[in-house]
Amino acid sequence: MKGLEMVALVLVVVGAVNWGLVGLAQFDLVAALFGGQSAVISRVVYSLVGLAGVTLAALQFVRVPATQRA
């Protein structure tokens, strides 16, 4: 599960940086890199970032305390 968590974390950081740039400089880095907000690859990146956020949130509820791990 650690690999999934790392990928999700990287995607969430990408999303956070992108939203920070949108808020501070009105610059959408994902759209600039991949051909606009409606480009297929941009929509895939946005979707993956959203799924990564949901995944990390869900993992917080299923985490086993260290004292109960085998």
For position 58, what pLDDT does the model report?
92
Q: Over range 2-26, report the average pLDDT.
A: 96
d(CA 29, CA 45): 11
Task: Provide the whole-model pTM.
Answer: 0.82
Within-domain flag for 69? no
Within-domain flag for 67? no
Within-domain flag for 70? no
Q: Over range 24-35, report the average pLDDT.
A: 97
The percent of residues above 90 in pLDDT, for the chain, comes to: 79
d(CA 59, CA 20): 24
Total domain count, the chain: 1
Within-domain flag for 17? yes
Within-domain flag for 66? no
The whole domain housing 55 covers 2-61
**pLDDT tens-place string over residues 30-57:** 999 999 999 999 999 999 999 999 999 9
